[in-house]
Amino acid sequence: MSSSTVCRIDSTGPQMSLMGKLNGPWHKYSLWLYTAVVLAHWGEHLAQTAQIYLLHWPIPESRGVLGLWVPWLVKSELLHYAYALVMLVAFWGLRTGFVGRSHTWWMIAFWIQFWHHIEHALLQGQAVFHHNLFGAPVPMSILQLVIPRVELHLFYNTAVTIPMVIAMFYHMFPTPGEESHHNCSCSWHRRPAVAV
């Protein structure tokens, strides 16, 4: 059994665990769902960017689409931290479905997201303890000292998305040696039909 296959043995015989299913037969659909979440998040950031740079709204009023309907939620550090954590957990949970080059790129995205999560954890901690770093009037992340928050998070999302897309490309179009290690139906290569 390869390290990318996760199985649990119980008294009724071998049954695939939830992680095994997510990285095996459900991998394709898990990635579709994950991609939808990532694209929705990108939509929010792009809407906020358009509000700031095209519509010239003040930054506090530029809250994306969701923030127009639920302003308090978007201003909450908890929402941003929760999303960063969901991303991190999904990267980790879906990693064993990737092999070879796709796994390398997926893990690059994971480690970038890990740092992005640390930055959001710092912001969330400041919001919880009502004590901002560096004497700032609002919660501040480390790189926010150099790059403004809106642009910083566009950078982070880009830095995470690029290796994620490369990983998915290599996953969907694996080389012949890597294709044999897939336990899912994500590959777009047509497999030869087996003669009966």
Say how many C-beta atoms besides its own lie within 10 A of residue 186's C-beta: 20
Percent of the chain residues past pLDDT 90, beyond the cut: 56
- State mean pLDDT over 55-69: 90
Is residue 63 in a domain? no
Is residue 50 in a domain? no
d(CA 14, CA 67): 47
Is residue 51 in a domain? no
pLDDT(10) > 70: no
Instruction: Find, among 98, 119, 115, the residue nearest to 165 by Cα.
Output: 98
Burial of 72 (0-12, 13-18, 19+ CB in 10 A): exposed
How much is the pLDDT for 162? 97
- Which of 30-44, 77-91, 166-180 shows the lowest per-residue confidence on average (mean pLDDT)? 166-180
**Taking all residues of the chain, what is their mean pLDDT, rounded to a whole number?**
84
Is residue 193 in a domain? no
Q: What are residue 15's DSSP bridge partners?
A: 8
Is residue 44 in a domain? no
How many structural domains is the chain composed of?
1
How much is the pLDDT for 193? 40
Tens-digit pLDDT profile for residues 99-150 = 999 999 999 999 999 999 999 999 999 999 999 998 889 899 999 999 998 8
pLDDT(11) > 90: no
The pTM for the full model equals: 0.81
Instruction: Find, among 169, 130, 181, 150, the residue nearest to 52 by Cα.
Output: 150
Is residue 66 in a domain? no
How much is the pLDDT for 9? 31
d(CA 140, CA 149): 8
- Residues of the domain holding 80: 7-35+71-179
Percent of the chain residues past pLDDT 70, beyond the cut: 86
Which element (helix H / strand E) includes 43?
Answer: helix 27-53
Q: What are residue 7's DSSP bridge partners?
A: 16
Tens-digit pLDDT profile for residues 16-46 = 788 888 888 888 899 999 999 999 999 999 9
Is residue 55 in a domain? no
Is residue 149 in a domain? yes
Q: Are 64 and 51 in contact (CB under 8 A)?
A: yes
Query: DSSP of 134-194, one letter per residue?
Result: GG-SS---SGGGTS-HHHHHHHHHHHHHHHHHHHHHHHHS--HHHHTT--SS---SPPPPP
